Amino acid sequence: MTNDQKENLFVLIKSLSKSEKRQFKLYVGRIESNLNSKFLILFTLLDKMEVYDEKIILKKNFVTKQQLSNLKAHLYKQVLISLRLNPSQQNKRMQIREQLDFATVLYQKGLYNQSLKILDRAKAIAVKFEEKYAAFEIVELEKVIESQYITRSMSNRTEELVSDATYFINQNHISSQLSNLSLELYERLIKTGYIKSDEEFRLVTEFFIKRLPEFDFDDLGFREKLWYFRAHVWFSLLTQDFLSSYRYSMKWVSLFDKQPDMIPSHPVFYLQGNNYLLESLTLLKYPKKFLEIFDKMIHSLDSKEFPKNDNLSSLAFLYEYNNRFNMYFLEGNFKEGQKIINTLLNKINHFENQIDEHHVMMFYYKIACLYFGSNEFEKATVYLNQIVNNKKLKMREDLLCFTRLLNLIAHYEAGFDYHLDEHIRDTYKFLLKMGDLHEVQKSLIRFVRKLGAIYPSELKDAFKALHKELKQYELDPYERRAFLYLDILSWLESKIQNKTVAQIIHAKAILINRKDRHPTEHL
């Protein structure tokens, strides 16, 4: 992202739709004196710019360099106020907050009864849509008003308000503990990926058990159950317990299936739940169930009832295309998957201000895997090199490790022998630095290193020997990570059977779907 694109005001204005720009001008135009105001002139100027250029602004002579900072801050605030008033940006939380503000104004005017009526209605909405922090604020304001203006039997009213306050305090405390735990586990998953040793498993498990609050599950509301399931999904993925991650992500999504009116209030969580349910099914290699859930998610996104905004559009893009890749990988349809690459790259440019570099590089890795599976190894190295050569990249450590391993194999397959020794050394050093030099990685590096000394007539036997050596690690709790990121066994089987990787994986997918039962079905 370039510096001109990082100018917050410019990025905000460029993110506005035509209707939002029209709404802003109507909002500004409600006061006649605003029509020739400096902030409106600045808005029009920035709207016409392709890239942010302060020199062009100053050349217009309507603002000095010293005044520009304050003018931009004022315009930024006015655009946000306009957006807040736009019905398309409204959600239940904002509507409840607005009612709370109205009630506060009425209270300050001394209109206590009117204020309490608004608060009563707002509290009912807050409870219905699990906005318990807002509900607690409402109760606190009710207590303040009741202390000045007694409208009902004080003893009954006091008991009711104290009971409500206690309930919301307890629920919010549990929710906060669960959301903290969920966030900390998610951070670890994003930063380091799956655990790599018994010691890591012990530390993560102890951390999880220690931080998990005590409660009666039946007493939890929608929001608390949501955080509970989220925390268990991250923990299960960290510890590579993919059946449990399937189980808890399914419970996560089922919360919304049972209460569909919560989807518009929490659309981000709904999308995330579906995404991690699909990821769990990918890791369990269950194409049939994957397609069922994926179709359901796409149908939800396309429905008129699903909320629409820029944040949701970028998330929907990430989750849809991430899982389209997973679908092609599960089925072994690598050639078919190449059809979405150009559309994907265009969408990455479109959402450049909403998605970070980590997600872009994740897509590059998946594109490389598509080309690798299609036996187009040179094209695979183009995308893998962009990841390897990005020195500032903050990406999951395990993914960085396996990117280098895949790059090593792709260079060998592409016939780039002249740099192979250098790639072997760099990969070895990187894995050593990351502390990720496990048996599978060691075996691969040893094999690639001695490839030059193997006669062509002996290659198939060498591939068979490596396949046998690696096969023993397929079920190892820590070594099997390599097979989740890099289907090295299918690659070796393709060399042994003189088939493409796509043919091998496609045959495995057909075999899986022919089975009457799958390990997930008993959950």
Residue 190 CA neighbour count, 13 Å, CB half: 9
- Residue 519 clears pLDDT 70, i.e. is over it: no
Indicate the pLDDT class of residue 5, thresholds 50, 70 and 90: very low
Q: Residue 482, class by beta-carbon neighbours within 10 Å (0-12 exposed, 13-18 middle, 19+ buried)?
A: buried
Higher pLDDT, residue 31 or 321: 321
- Predicted local distance difference test score (pLDDT) of residue 472: 87
- Predicted local distance difference test score (pLDDT) of residue 395: 60
Q: What is the average per-residue pLDDT within 453-479?
A: 83
**Neighbour tally for 7: CB within 10 Å:** 18
Residue 375 CA neighbour count, 13 Å, CB half: 9
Angstrom distances, CA of residue 132 to CA of 49, 119, 165, 176: 43, 14, 10, 11
- Predicted local distance difference test score (pLDDT) of residue 36: 64
- Predicted local distance difference test score (pLDDT) of residue 247: 96
3-state DSSP assignment of residue 389: coil
Indicate the pLDDT class of residue 45, thresholds 50, 70 and 90: very high
List all residues 6 or more positions away from 516 whose beta carbon is below 8 Å from its beta carbon. none
- Predicted local distance difference test score (pLDDT) of residue 412: 81
Among 102-116, 152-166, 421-435, the minimum mean pLDDT is found in 421-435
- Residue 213 clears pLDDT 90, i.e. is over it: yes
Higher pLDDT, residue 369 or 417: 369
Nearest to 395 by CA among 365, 369, 354: 365
- Predicted local distance difference test score (pLDDT) of residue 521: 53
**Neighbour tally for 157: CB within 10 Å:** 16
Q: pLDDT for 231-272, tens place per residue?
A: 999 999 999 899 999 999 999 999 999 999 899 889 999 999
Higher pLDDT, residue 195 or 32: 195
Indicate the pLDDT class of residue 499, thresholds 50, 70 and 90: confident
Percent of the chain predicted with pLDDT > 90: 43
Q: Concatenate the DSSP letters of all residues of 80-143 into one string.
A: HHHHHHSGGG--HHHHHHHHHHHHHHHHHTT-HHHHHHHHHHHHHHHHHTT-HHHHHHHHHHHH
- Residue 307 clears pLDDT 90, i.e. is over it: no
Structure tokens at 218: 């039946």
The sign of the dihedral angle between the CA atoms of 376, 377, 379, 380 is: positive
- pTM for the structure as a whole: 0.81
Q: What is the average per-residue pLDDT within 344-359?
A: 88
Angstrom distances, CA of residue 261 to CA of 127, 229, 329: 13, 19, 34
Higher pLDDT, residue 413 or 433: 413
Residue type, 1: M
Element at 169 (helix H, strand E):
helix 154-192
Q: Provide the mean pLDDT of the chain.
A: 86
Nearest to 370 by CA among 500, 498, 482: 500
Residue 430 CA neighbour count, 13 Å, CB half: 22
- Predicted local distance difference test score (pLDDT) of residue 152: 54
Indicate the pLDDT class of residue 150, thresholds 50, 70 and 90: low
Indicate the pLDDT class of residue 453, thresholds 50, 70 and 90: confident
- Predicted local distance difference test score (pLDDT) of residue 102: 94
- Residue 476 clears pLDDT 90, i.e. is over it: no
The rounded radius of gyration (Å) of the Cα atoms in the chain is 28
Q: pLDDT for 63-113, tens place per residue?
A: 888 889 999 999 999 999 888 887 666 678 888 999 999 999 999 988 988
